[in-house]
Amino acid sequence: MPMTTASAKLLEPVMHLAQHYRLAPARILEAASLSQSDYSKPGVRFPTQRYADVLNLLVEASNNPHIALSLAEATQPRMLGSIGFLMSTSATLGKAYQTLIDYLPLLMEGAVLQMEPVSDGVLLTLELNHPQLQPVEYLLGCLINWSRWLTGQQIPACCVRFAFPEPQDIQPYQRFFAAEVESNALRNQLLLPSDYLSLACLEANEEMHQLHLEFADSLLSKMNQQGALIAQTRNLIRRQLNEGGGTVRRDEVAETLGMSLRTLQRKLGILGTSFQDVYDVTRRDVALQLIQRGQMSFGEIAFQLGFSNQSAFQKAFKRWMGVAPSLYRQQVNPISLVVPDALLPDHITEQVLNVSDISEETIDQRLSSINDFSLSLLEWAALLGECFDLQSLSEITHNPVARLAIHLWPVEQQGLIQQVKSSADDVGRYRFNHPDILARIIQRLNKQQREDKHRTMGERLLNVLQDNPITSDSLPLVETCLHHLNALALKPSDPLFEQVTGLNLRASELAEALHKFKKSANYLSYLIECNEKEECFASSSKRESLLSHQAHLWFRAGEIDKAQVCLNKLKEANTLPALAQRALLLAQIHQQQNNPEEALSLLMQALADIDQPLPSTAKTQLPYLLTQLDAISVRFNGEALQRLAVEVAPDELFRLSLLEQILLMATQSGQPLLAACAAGRMTQLSLEQGRSSLTPFAFISYAWVASWVCGDYPLARLFAAQGVQLANRYGGLNHPSGGDPDEAALHAMLLYASRVQHWLAPLDEIRHHVEKLALLARENQFPTVLQECNLLHYQLRLLGAESLETIGVDRDNASSAALSGILDLPAYLLGHKAPSEPDTLEYQNGWQAMSHVIAALLLDQQCYWNTFYLWEGRVENEMSGYFSVSELLFCTAMMRLIQGHQNNGLGPRRKLEVEQILSRFELWRAESPDNFSFHYSLLVAENARLQGDSPTLAFEEAILMAEKQEGLFHKALAYERYGDYLHVAQQRRLARFCTEEALTLYRDWGASEKVKQLEYKRVLLAE
**Secondary structure letter of residue 860 according to DSSP:** T
Q: Are 671 and 705 part of one and the same domain?
A: yes
Higher pLDDT, 993 or 371: 993
Q: Is the pLDDT of residue 933 over 70?
A: yes
Q: Is the pLDDT of residue 613 over 60?
A: yes
Run of H or E residues at 125: strand 121-128
Section 197-210 average pLDDT: 85
Q: Are 181 and 234 part of one and the same domain?
A: no
Instruction: Answer yes or no: is 787 within a domain.
Output: yes
The pLDDT score that the predictor gives to residue 160 is: 94
Q: Is the pLDDT of residue 641 over 70?
A: no
Burial class of residue 270, CB neighbours in 10 A (0-12, 13-18, 19+): exposed
Section 884-893 average pLDDT: 93
Instruction: Answer yes or no: is 517 within a domain.
Output: no
Residue 613 phi, psi (nearest 5)? -70, 155
> 330-339, 725-734, 851-860, 935-944: which range is least confident on average?
330-339
The pLDDT score that the predictor gives to residue 639 is: 61
Residue 126 phi, psi (nearest 5)? -110, 130
Q: Are 430 and 313 part of one and the same domain?
A: no
The pLDDT score that the predictor gives to residue 870 is: 92
The pLDDT score that the predictor gives to residue 1 is: 45
Instruction: Answer yes or no: is 809 within a domain.
Output: no
Task: State pLDDT tens for residues 174-183.
Answer: 878 878 899 8
**Residue 836 CA: distances (Å) to CA of 162, 706, 828:** 70, 38, 11
Instruction: Answer yes or no: is 577 within a domain.
Output: no
Residue that finishes a domain, picked among 439, 461, 477: 439
Q: Is the pLDDT of residue 562 over 80?
A: yes
pLDDT band at 578 (very low <50, low <70, confident <90, very high): confident
Q: Is the pLDDT of residue 347 over 60?
A: no
Task: State pLDDT tens for residues 525-536.
Answer: 888 887 676 565
Q: Are 33 and 120 part of one and the same domain?
A: yes
pLDDT band at 357 (very low <50, low <70, confident <90, very high): low
The SS3 of residue 5 is: strand
Tell me the CATH number at 114.
3.90.1520.10
Structural domain count of the chain: 5
The pLDDT score that the predictor gives to residue 284 is: 83
The pLDDT score that the predictor gives to residue 350 is: 40
Q: Is the pLDDT of residue 648 over 70?
A: no
Higher pLDDT, 640 or 608: 608
Average confidence score pLDDT of the chain:
83
Section 590-609 average pLDDT: 84
- What count of other Cβ atoms lies within 10 Å of the Cβ of residue 735? 17
The pLDDT score that the predictor gives to residue 990 is: 92
Task: State pLDDT tens for residues 720-745.
Answer: 888 888 888 876 666 544 556 777 78
Distance (Å, rounded) from C-alpha 633 to C-alpha 616? 24
Q: Are 92 and 19 part of one and the same domain?
A: yes
Distance (Å, rounded) from C-alpha 722 to C-alpha 719? 5
Determine contact, residues 149/184, Cβ cutoff 8 Å. Answer: no
387-389 and 180-182 beta bridge pairing:
unpaired
Q: Are 45 and 177 part of one and the same domain?
A: yes
The pLDDT score that the predictor gives to residue 910 is: 92
Taken in order 246, 250, 251, 252, is the CA torsion positive or negative? positive
The pLDDT score that the predictor gives to residue 424 is: 43
The pLDDT score that the predictor gives to residue 352 is: 47
Instruction: Provide the domain limits for residue 899.
Output: 853-1021
Q: Which residues contact residue 418 at a Cβ distance below 8 angstroms, ignoring those fewer than 6 apart?
A: 303, 308, 309, 412, 430, 431, 433
pLDDT band at 322 (very low <50, low <70, confident <90, very high): confident
Task: State pLDDT tens for residues 19-58.
Answer: 888 888 889 999 999 888 888 777 788 999 899 999 999 9
Section 996-1011 average pLDDT: 92
The pLDDT score that the predictor gives to residue 900 is: 93
pLDDT band at 582 (very low <50, low <70, confident <90, very high): confident
The pLDDT score that the predictor gives to residue 958 is: 94
- What count of other Cβ atoms lies within 10 Å of the Cβ of residue 1020? 10
pLDDT band at 329 (very low <50, low <70, confident <90, very high): confident
Q: Are 670 and 715 part of one and the same domain?
A: yes
Q: Is the pLDDT of residue 91 over 80?
A: yes
Rama region for 335: left / alpha / beta (φ>0; ψ in -120 to 50; rest): alpha
Q: Is the pLDDT of residue 346 over 50?
A: no
> 349-358, 450-459, 495-504, 807-816: which range is least confident on average?
349-358
The pLDDT score that the predictor gives to residue 345 is: 31
Task: State pLDDT tens for residues 742-796.
Answer: 777 888 888 899 888 888 888 888 998 898 888 888 888 788 888 888 889 888 8
- Percent of the chain clearing pLDDT 90 (strictly above): 21
The pLDDT score that the predictor gives to residue 335 is: 31
Section 133-156 average pLDDT: 89
The pLDDT score that the predictor gives to residue 622 is: 86
Instruction: Answer yes or no: is 551 within a domain.
Output: no
The pLDDT score that the predictor gives to residue 300 is: 79
Section 497-510 average pLDDT: 89
Instruction: Answer yes or no: is 135 within a domain.
Output: yes
Q: Are 312 and 419 part of one and the same domain?
A: no
Q: Are 111 and 52 part of one and the same domain?
A: yes
pLDDT band at 537 (very low <50, low <70, confident <90, very high): low
Residue that finishes a domain, picked among 799, 818, 833: 799
Name the H helices within 77-198.
Answer: 82-88, 93-107, 133-151, 171-177
Task: State pLDDT tens for residues 686-729.
Answer: 888 888 888 889 999 999 988 887 878 888 888 888 888 888 88
Q: Is the pLDDT of residue 340 over 50?
A: no
The pLDDT score that the predictor gives to residue 400 is: 67
Q: Are 705 and 747 part of one and the same domain?
A: yes
Q: Are 1000 and 917 part of one and the same domain?
A: yes
Instruction: Answer yes or no: is 85 within a domain.
Output: yes
Section 568-588 average pLDDT: 80
Q: Is the pLDDT of residue 158 over 60?
A: yes
Residue that finishes a domain, picked among 439, 460, 478: 439
Instruction: Answer yes or no: is 708 within a domain.
Output: yes
Run of H or E residues at 811: none
> 86-100, 219-233, 285-299, 817-831: which range is least confident on average?
219-233
Q: Are 180 and 240 part of one and the same domain?
A: no
> 48-57, 476-485, 638-647: which range is least confident on average?
638-647
The pLDDT score that the predictor gives to residue 527 is: 80
Section 910-936 average pLDDT: 92
Higher pLDDT, 391 or 885: 885
Task: State pLDDT tens for residues 676-686.
Answer: 999 999 998 88
Determine contact, residues 383/457, Cβ cutoff 8 Å. Answer: yes
Residue 716 phi, psi (nearest 5)? -60, -40
The pLDDT score that the predictor gives to residue 184 is: 85
The SS3 of residue 400 is: coil
Higher pLDDT, 437 or 41: 437
pTM for the full predicted model: 0.54
